[in-house]
Structure 1
């Protein structure tokens, strides 16, 4: 976050901040694809509008995502993989906003339970028989949604609040109200980057644990998370 001015950073508290590259590693989705979805693009002389406007607007700094954007991308990507065009997903989002009453509706608890008719309406306009069959079946729709929104905790309003990118057992979570939404080790609430940097500076996980006064297991979880993200960067 060094490239973000302090005054701008203050306005990001509770929202989270991620570049397309960071989002791509967390979501296992191409950063270029994420940028295209959120910026819009031109192809074959036709202009395609963004799927939605990102939470974070830093002007000429480029595209950034908030925590809610991450969760919307997870769902949008799943439906695009099922054969729905990105622009049909955008249409579904527009319809779902009225249903849910949220600017980013796809990842809400209400959409998980009531959103089937939104996608059914969208695919019926295209006459795509297989997709219509998929979304007409409530169990199939729920399976698609549940697989795209695993390891997610909701607040009382049914809005995504905490995400466990590698699952709860790995003890690393993303909470937009903590550390600008960067991954933190759940047991200690210390940012993963801080623990990894301490290992690099001190020379060992044991020394890093002493520096932060945390259990060695917390440092090892942070290192394991970083290794996973680094492997995703290479892939």
Structure 2
């Protein structure tokens, strides 16, 4: 288990806000993948050694619970891992490097810390010589050299810039702008709407807009009701339709 440290009074760490399925949906990824990150996994094969991965995401309570078990800080950790997935690099190949980077950064919940954003790419380069050849090759795919310094690839950077960090202390994530939206601006703050996503511009809970659309109200009417740009509401409508089509296929 990824342990929660002594920030027990901080709701980002201490309050389970999301089920694993909800967190996966917010990060625009498969719930099975998020579950592997939160619960860990064990893969067995007939012709090669088994592969074991311990949890990378903070959870509270039972990792197999259908009830909310992921705190905000776990969602932020998942955001970083989701960014790595977008780089098409197998997580099991970069896992040794991630473990080394977390140790060198030297704080709990390193995947949700500004320090990872600031120095993580350079550390990934520096530890390359401590990895086997294949792990080193895959890890180097995450970074590029820019102006004499190693930085995360653009696809990863675009995710990480959606995370806002506290300025003081260990500078952990405090706000996330959710991925998967090209037009709508949807944010998550642990102290707003019980951690549920909301439209950044107005504070309108996403679920309120989605419920009205599912009930058959038009995009134009919903946008007018909540003072939202019509193109943002239209994007939510498209996501609802896409999710419904996926459910039917399944």
Fold shared per TM-score above 0.5: yes
| Aligned pairs, number | 222
Which residue of 162, 165, 175 corresponds with 2:175? Answer: 162
In structure 2, the CA distance between the partners of 1:231 and 1:224, relative to structure 1 (3 Å rule), is same
In structure 2, the CA distance between the partners of 1:122 and 1:23, relative to structure 1 (3 Å rule), is farther
Distance 2:86 2:182 in 1: 26
Partner of 1:171: 185
Distance 1:176 1:189 in 2: 13
Partner of 2:5: none
Q: Does 1:54 align with 2:58?
A: yes
Q: What secondary structure does 1:91 align onto?
A: helix
In structure 2, the CA distance between the partners of 1:12 and 1:229, relative to structure 1 (3 Å rule), is farther
Deviations along 1:121-142, whole A, 9 cap, x unmatched?
A: 2574111363465467543642
Is contact 1:72-1:104 (8 Å) kept? yes
Q: CA deviation at 1:147?
A: 3.0
Partner of 2:37: 37
Distance 2:141 2:20 in 1: 30
Partner of 1:7: none
Partner of 1:143: 153
> Which one has a larger percent helix, Structure 1 or Structure 2?
1
Unaligned runs of 5+ in 1: 1-10
Q: Does 1:183 align with 2:197?
A: yes
Higher relative contact order (CA 8 A, sep 6+): 1
Unaligned runs of 5+ in 2: 1-8
TM-score, scaled relative to structure 1: 0.70
TM-score, scaled relative to structure 2: 0.66
In structure 2, the CA distance between the partners of 1:206 and 1:131, relative to structure 1 (3 Å rule), is closer
Which residue of 63, 75, 80 corresponds with 1:70? Answer: 75
Is contact 1:209-1:215 (8 Å) kept? yes
Is contact 2:144-2:153 (8 Å) kept? no
Over aligned residues, Cα RMSD in angstroms? 3.9
